[in-house]
């Protein structure tokens, strides 16, 4: 917490990697978690803290199903930022609003009116939609609304699939947070189909994975003929064909529950992968995937190239002390990436991220090579006292870290197109090498 005693200088709370590693999972300070304190919505956190906010929040994610429409059920204040979705992708044209008033909240009368509203919304469309998504907010979370039951009633009226998706910030820290649930809702639309042996789905992101990723070439080289992902589906028929897959590759942890649902409902087994930046971890993961699929994924040339690129980065940093601040709003695990970049020669002075028990694996390794790296949480109220000029780094990585050092060279590394594998490492090191040319 911020020290408000007379004469005390307010300070942002932080712990070093060595302190966190020594404390273990039971000793993670409440200030570095999101459930132990009030949330500080600084500009560094506003773009991601709400499950309805920037990027693929619940609302935009629910509309990733081609041809779907969404009825947003909320008080006016909860739907105010939906206008931001009227840009690229024309998501705004696929929205309608049921604005709850005080009587709805007190009596629950809106629950009987939602099927009627969904019917009117469907009837207003020039072409029949593929599905109707009912997006509800914390108001219904507090009311304890059984939105699944409401969705079934609406489905009986509109004769289309209707699925609820929950923009519940209150459940963000639960075992079933909004971005997990919305993936389940989306993939529950798939119906059983005969399996095609050479067909694979990539689950995890709503945006496409980078076409330059070697994952595609490795899979095709092993005999896979069809690779599908929701970010590349242009029609509902293309999306529905994902039910033909012989295996699902889960590239983001938030899609694990959806993959488990498809395994039970459609008999599609799944294999979990992670986005790593250490060449050795990427290589071992591909070898494990080879064994799981019973194929050969020859990544040896790529493995050597990735190690060579890190060696080039290490040479560029030889004899220099380049301090780096790493954020968490980017396409990487901040602790794994900080560990890789520390090994490449950067002095990682700060990491802006919450800390979970599973992060300690990388934090312990980071403590061995960079014990003084300090970890801050963007969401801690103490960050209101964070200095923007004390012990400033030379280079900043991550859009949230850039908020604290807006005048310094930075790499956002948070594009919607998702990098993966060796390709992600190569592209990031290219960006780092370019930035190093301007760092004295």
Pairing of strands 162-167, 270-272: unpaired
CA angle at 255 for the pair 42 and 72, rounded to the nearest 5°: 60
Nearest 10 degrees: Cα torsion 38, 401, 353, 18: -120
Pairing of strands 15-16, 374-376: antiparallel
Residues 313-332 pLDDT 10s = 999 999 999 999 999 989 99
| CB 15 within 8 Å of CB 374 | yes
Tell me how far apart the alpha carbons of residues 66 and 61 are, in angstroms, rounded to a whole number: 11
Which residues face 203 on adjacent strands?
250
Pick from 134, 136, 132, 133: which is nearest to 144 by CA? 136
Mean of pLDDT values over 372-396: 88
Residues 93-103 pLDDT 10s = 888 988 888 88
Residues 266-296 pLDDT 10s = 999 999 999 999 999 999 999 999 999 999 9
pTM for the structure as a whole: 0.90
| CB 245 within 8 Å of CB 199 | yes
Tokens standing for residue 27: 């000793």
Share of the chain above pLDDT 70, in %: 88
pLDDT band at 1 (very low <50, low <70, confident <90, very high): very low
CA angle at 65 for the pair 271 and 234, rounded to the nearest 5°: 95
Pick from 364, 351, 376: which is nearest to 24 by CA? 364
Residues 7-38 pLDDT 10s = 456 789 999 999 999 999 999 998 898 777 67
Question: Measured in whole angstroms, how far is the alpha carbon of residue 400 from the centre of its chain?
Answer: 14
Model confidence at 52: pLDDT above 50: no
Tell me how far apart the alpha carbons of residues 50 and 71 are, in angstroms, rounded to a whole number: 19
pLDDT of residue 59: 84
Tokens standing for residue 73: 């059920």
How high is the mean pLDDT of the chain?
89
Length of the chain: 440
């Amino acid at each position: 917490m911020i020290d408000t005693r007379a004469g005390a200088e307010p300070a942002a709370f932080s712990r070093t990697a060595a302190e966190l590693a020594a404390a273990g999972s039971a000793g993670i300070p409440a200030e570095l978690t999101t459930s132990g304190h009030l949330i500080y919505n600084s500009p560094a956190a506003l773009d991601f803290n709400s499950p309805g906010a920037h990027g693929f929040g619940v609302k935009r994610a629910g509309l990733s199903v081609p041809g779907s429409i969404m009825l947003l059920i909320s008080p006016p204040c909860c739907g105010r930022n939906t206008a931001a979705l009227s840009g690229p992708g024309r998501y705004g044209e696929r929205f309608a609003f049921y604005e709850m008033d005080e009587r709805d909240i007190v009596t629950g009368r809106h629950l009987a009116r939602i099927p009627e509203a969904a019917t009117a919304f469907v009837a207003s469309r020039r072409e029949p939609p593929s599905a109707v998504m009912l997006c509800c907010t914390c108001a219904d979370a507090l009311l304890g609304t059984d939105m699944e039951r409401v969705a079934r009633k609406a489905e009986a009226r509109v004769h289309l699939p209707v699925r609820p998706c929950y923009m519940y910030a209150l459940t963000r820290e639960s075992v079933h947070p909004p971005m997990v649930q919305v993936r389940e809702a989306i993939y529950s639309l798939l119906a059983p189909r005969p399996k095609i042996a050479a067909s694979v789905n990539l689950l995890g992101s709503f945006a496409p994975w980078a076409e330059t990723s070697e994952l595609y070439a490795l899979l095709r080289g092993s005999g896979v003929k069809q690779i599908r992902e929701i970010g590349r589906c242009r029609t509902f028929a293309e999306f529905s064909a994902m039910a033909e897959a012989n295996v699902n590759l889960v590239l983001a942890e938030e899609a694990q529950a959806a993959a488990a649902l498809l395994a039970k409902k459609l008999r599609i087994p799944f294999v979990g992968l992670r986005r790593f930046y250490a060449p050795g971890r990427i290589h071992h993961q591909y070898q494990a995937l080879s064994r799981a699929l019973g194929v050969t994924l020859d990544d040896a040339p790529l493995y050597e190239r990735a190690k060579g690129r890190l060696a080039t980065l290490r040479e560029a940093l030889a004899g220099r002390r380049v301090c780096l601040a790493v954020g968490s709003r980017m396409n990487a695990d901040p602790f794994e990436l900080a560990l890789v970049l520390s090994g490449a020669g950067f002095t990682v002075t700060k990491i802006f991220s919450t800390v979970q028990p599973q992060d300690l694996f990388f934090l312990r390794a980071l403590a061995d090579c960079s014990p003084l790296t300090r970890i801050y949480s963007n969401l801690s109220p103490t960050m209101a006292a964070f200095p923007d000029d004390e012990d400033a780094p030379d280079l900043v990585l991550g859009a949230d870290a850039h908020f604290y050092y807006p005048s310094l060279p930075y790499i956002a590394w948070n594009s919607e197109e998702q990098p993966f594998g060796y390709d992600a490492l190569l592209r990031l090191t290219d960006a780092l090498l370019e930035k190093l040319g301007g760092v004295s």
